[in-house]
A and B are shown apart, each in its own frame.
Chain A
Amino acid sequence: MDINWQTSYIDPENLIAISRGDDNRMIKYLRQFQELIPERIERLQECLVAEDRKMVRQTLHQMSPQLEFFGVPEVIPPIRRLEYEYETIPLEELKSLVKKILVQLDGACEEVKMILNKFE
């Protein structure tokens, strides 16, 4: 299926490459994104409320390969910074970085949903 990729949060290059024209494979990765990322966004929000630095790091660590694959470039530098500095970074700065990441993730989730709708 020819898709008009008008995305600004995600870059579909890796997705297109792995799919090699197989729509089912592409849908599999898109659905997986839809299953895993919102759940982790929720956990990240809970970590912020609980001010649980270790869980912030762990949740970001879990989601970063998928975000990198989906070409969400804005979130990679702050995630790497938080992975390294999660114990020492001032709490307010940590919260501010996570909130910026969350904005990007919401945008990425919307785009994934929009693309999946085109298949259905």
Chain B
Amino acid sequence: MTAWERFADSFLNARVAAEYLPKIVDGFRLTVVLALLIVVSGLAAGLLLALVRSLGVRPLNWLIIFVVDLFRALPPLVVIVLLFFGLPAAGMQLSGFASTWLALSLVLMAFAEEIFWAGITSVPKGQWEAARSTGLTFVQTLRFVVLPQAIRLTIPPLTNRTIAITKGTALASVVAVQEILGAAHAGVSFSFNPTPLTLGALAYLVLFIPVVVFGRWVETRFAWRR
């Protein structure tokens, strides 16, 4: 056997691949579902917090800033572990899937709030005043004047951050979720062959390379003129 054949036999073993591919495909589905749920709930919660913050209620804003800072400072894995291993002590048991979803949603919420808020404050005060002077309500001004300008500005950083956080779905393997990495890692232990990990890595590339390329495109498409 040449070195390459030996390498291929362990890392790209056809028999092992055939055996574990269905598991990886299942993991792939789970990863996609988890990622989509995180994106939806994280972005929605972030936008909601930014909107509440724009009301300008002092104590409420301090609370929002604290929560945002908290989830920007904590490593996502620490939050996941805390939810999964810590909550049972309070008599609450979240599944690994739910823990990961909640933790990463909170993290994305924090980053998204920060970005949305920066976008909102970047719209000059004159825009608010002009809109309100024509009789638009607070909500109408936000909806038709401020948000459209703010969102355009926030899309590139938001896209990159969202991509980075959804990649965190791999952390779910730590709390025994059979998403791609979990399924792949389990496959290695059962088969004593690293091919499932190769498949897993390929699955992530299939999933995220288009996303990364999309992020690159968004960055140039919405590039700020410096």
Do A and B interact with each other, yes or no?
no
Interface residues of B (CB under 8 A from A): none
Chain A interface residues toward B at CB < 8 A? none
